[in-house]
């Protein structure tokens, strides 16, 4: 499955959330990551993020698509990082 993750967290937790998410996904832009994950990887990512955030003030949005071809991205301006199958 193809996953797009966006987050808005307090500055003191930003680094931890980014580091956690980058273990699973490709950083595309500030607070935005994407990539292919198995269902088990997605569950682990969600579990780790739940421990890293404050559910009263932080927000993490995860969009799950059946495959990368189901998403169409339009980028205006600089492309900061291109997701790939190879890490």
Q: pLDDT, tens digit, for every residue of 24-59?
A: 999 999 999 999 999 999 999 999 999 999 999 999
What does pTM read for this prediction?
0.84
Contact status, residue 26 vs residue 83, Cβ threshold 8 Å: yes
User: Known binding site: residues?
Assistant: 8
Residue 65 within any structural domain of the chain: yes
> Tokens 């003030």 sit at which residue?
57
Evaluate whether residue 80 is within a structural domain. Answer: no
pLDDT at residue number 67 = 87
Query: Which CATH number fits the domain that encloses residue 29?
Result: 3.30.70.240
Distances (CA, A) of 10 to 19, 21, 30, 41, 81: 14, 16, 14, 25, 24
pLDDT beyond 70 at 84? no
The answer to whether residues 81 and 25 touch, using CB atoms and an 8 Å cutoff, is no
Q: Mean pLDDT throughout 18-29?
A: 95
Enumerate the known binding-site residues for Mg(2+): 8
| Integer Cα distance of 65 and 58 in angstroms | 23
Q: Does the residue 82 lie in any domain?
A: no
Question: How many structural domains compose the chain?
Answer: 1
Q: Which pLDDT score is estimated for 87? A: 42
């Amino acid at each position: 499955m193809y996953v797009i993750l966006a987050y808005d967290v307090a500055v003191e937790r930003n680094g931890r959330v980014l580091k956690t998410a980058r273990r699973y996904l490709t950083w595309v832009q500030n607070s935005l990551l994407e990539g292919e994950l198995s269902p088990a990887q997605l569950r682990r990512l969600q579990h780790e993020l739940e421990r890293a955030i404050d559910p009263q003030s932080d927000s993490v949005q995860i969009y799950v698509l059946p495959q990368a071809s189901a998403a169409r991205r339009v980028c205006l301006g600089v492309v900061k990082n291109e997701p790939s199958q190879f890490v």
